[in-house]
Structure 1
Amino acid sequence: MLQVLYSGETRELALSGARPELLALAHLLRGKAGRCDLSENRHPFPYERSLSEIAFREDPESDTASIVAEEKILRIQGGRKALGLLADNLEGFASEADASDHWHVDSPTYEYIAPESDPLVIAFTKWAERARVG
């Protein structure tokens, strides 16, 4: 199951999951709106807390995608083109990256990510990848 950890000090988010879970999230992001539950981590060290849900929606007035942690929810919203680019890149990462790779999703690295977004790092869940290989 997907997991998102949050650091209040740096505002960094860490999203992790197995390949199929990351691919499913990319597919969900292609819709107009949706939610998915997250696996909560009771000991999120070195992060402060574990989030419980991802909620996303299309905002036809926006040209970018905003990624922000609010309480226990990771909120993703933006224009269709920006959400589509995020979904495309997530799908590419989940399909092709090595199990030890990670992907930094932030502004200004990606023009389609809103400047007010929290920095996000996406990686594979270590135990899930070991189980897949073994």
Structure 2
Amino acid sequence: MSLALEDRLAITELVSLHGHLVDDGSLDRLEELFTPDVVYDLTDFGQAPLSGVAAIRDAAWALGAANPVAHHVTNVVVTASPDGRVRVRSKGLGIKADGTCGSVSYDDTVVRTADGWRISHRRVSARRSPLGGVTKPG
């Protein structure tokens, strides 16, 4: 499947919008990002996957002041599949109120809905070691 430039732009903006909405506390607008049955996979952080937009919203409210004050997304790569789904890989930086920061990888599945492109599955993986933990062979 080939994606039109307009679709690629819309998908990239969708992924970017996440940080703006969360950082602004606009959690009532998460339906603009996710399908109603989204799976938000946080198993790399020792948490069970969240199912549905309400679960994501509740988890963010529960985290409260421990949420990052800024989410930044970079290195967005969009790959179309023959089944109409789109895979999006991106990097995220989170800045905490105390100035510490962390890095994650987002692996998203994006689908076209009647309301536009939405994320139906997101896996968040912490970046904990250089070169992804790979060491030089031999």
Smaller-chain TM-score bracket: 0.3 to 0.5
Name the one with the larger helix percent: 2
Q: When the two structures are superposed, what TM-score results if normalisation uses the length of structure 1?
A: 0.34
Q: Which has the larger radius of gyration?
A: 2
Q: When the two structures are superposed, what TM-score results if normalisation uses the length of structure 2?
A: 0.34
Name the one with the larger strand percent: 2
**Higher RCO structure, 1 or 2 (CA under 8 Å, sep 6+):** 1
